[in-house]
């Protein structure tokens, strides 16, 4: 309801007419027809006398009929006619609608300019005059964009770089492991010189909204890592008998990404 927003609205009311006026003591009901885009909508205005004078009854509007722009989205802020507007109540699950006071007209609603990692195609919605003029909510569904995918890729690269630098077969907090009985990770010291290498990166990345700015990130195509190491095959009998061995391990990636305007964090499973 500001000039910056309403000044860019189209299909605004172009005329009106007063149909009836009913006065009962200190109250009055004024009924009008508002013409918007060739459609006439009846609107009733309730008035009461406020500190009436001798010649001036001082009629005042009571609960003036307010038009509402309804929005369904998982974001906390939307862009209306090029202006970022915070929704009452903040973020939601995208199932219930949030209402914004608005003058009658047609508005363009999309994702806020501050949404670096999420984008949605803008939609147009027309708001009619008065309480009784219900319009379908503007459905703004933010989806991960290229910046989101790039940021996820950077997090994954950093995780794999850390994990391949580990020198044990069961690196903690990593999406792969290749345990050998009695290896160095369980304290027996029967494995040494462990070297990890990613031979096939995980692929087919997907993101599913969990609501409230969080996204479930999964990779449908499992990656592969190769561990090369020396293994003592003597089983503790006699002198150590070191043999070089290798073992493949699947890379199973999954996690939860949280988006807050131009910031994103990603926590991995496990």
- pLDDT per residue rounded down to tens, the chain (270 residues): 889 999 999 999 999 999 999 999 899 999 999 999 899 999 999 999 988 888 888 899 998 888 899 998 878 889 999 999 998 876 556 677 888 999 999 999 998 876 789 888 899 999 998 865 567 888 888 889 999 999 999 999 999 999 999 999 999 999 999 875 555 444 445 889 999 999 999 987 899 988 777 899 999 889 999 999 998 888 778 888 999 999 999 998 999 999 887 889 999 986
Residues 173 and 134 both lie in one domain: no
What pLDDT does residue 92 have? 59
Last residue of a domain, one of 123, 142, 161: 142
Residues 65 and 156 both lie in one domain: no
Last residue of a domain, one of 97, 122, 142: 142
Domain of 204 in residue numbering reads as: 146-268
Residues 105 and 219 both lie in one domain: no
Last residue of a domain, one of 108, 142, 176: 142
Quote the number of domains for the chain: 2
Residues 224 and 191 both lie in one domain: yes
Residues 94 and 5 both lie in one domain: yes
Residues 5 and 110 both lie in one domain: yes
What pLDDT does residue 185 have? 47
Write the CA distances from 71 to 22, 106, 225, integer angstroms: 36, 13, 46
Residues 158 and 128 both lie in one domain: no
Residues 109 and 204 both lie in one domain: no
Residues 112 and 6 both lie in one domain: yes
Residues 3 and 136 both lie in one domain: yes
Q: Residue 186 and residue 244: Cα distance in Å, rounded? A: 19
Residues 1 and 133 both lie in one domain: yes
Pairing of strands 138-139, 67-72: parallel
What pLDDT does residue 188 have? 43
Residues 63 and 160 both lie in one domain: no
């Amino acid at each position: 309801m500001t000039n910056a927003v309403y000044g860019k609205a189209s299909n605004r009311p172009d005329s009106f007419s007063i149909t009836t006026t009913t006065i009962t003591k200190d109250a009055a009901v004024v009924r009008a027809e508002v013409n918007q885009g060739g459609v006439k909508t009846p609107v009733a205005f309730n008035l009461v006398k406020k500190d009436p004078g001798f010649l001036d009854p001082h009629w005042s509007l009571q609960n003036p009929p307010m038009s509402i722009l309804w929005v369904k989205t998982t974001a906390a802020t939307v862009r209306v006619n090029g202006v970022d507007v915070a929704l009452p109540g903040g973020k939601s699950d995208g199932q219930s609608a949030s209402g914004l006071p608005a003058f009658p007209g047609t508005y363009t609603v999309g994702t806020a300019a501050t949404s670096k990692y999420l984008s949605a195609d803008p939609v147009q919605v027309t708001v009619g005059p008065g309480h009784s003029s219900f319009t379908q909510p503007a459905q703004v569904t933010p989806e991960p964009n290229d910046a989101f995918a790039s940021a996820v890729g950077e997090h994954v690269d950093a995780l794999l770089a850390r994990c391949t630098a580990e020198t044990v077969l069961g690196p903690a907090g990593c999406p792969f492991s290749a345990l050998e009985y009695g290896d160095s990770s369980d304290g027996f010291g029967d494995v040494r010189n462990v070297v990890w290498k990613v031979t096939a990166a995980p692929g087919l990345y997907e993101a599913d909204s969990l609501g409230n700015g969080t996204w479930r990130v999964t990779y449908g195509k499992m990656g592969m890592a190769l561990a090369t190491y020396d293994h003592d095959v003597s089983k503790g009998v006699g002198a150590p008998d070191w043999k070089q061995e290798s073992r493949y391990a699947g890379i199973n990636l999954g996690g939860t990404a949280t988006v807050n305007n131009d910031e994103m964090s990603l926590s991995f499973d496990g």
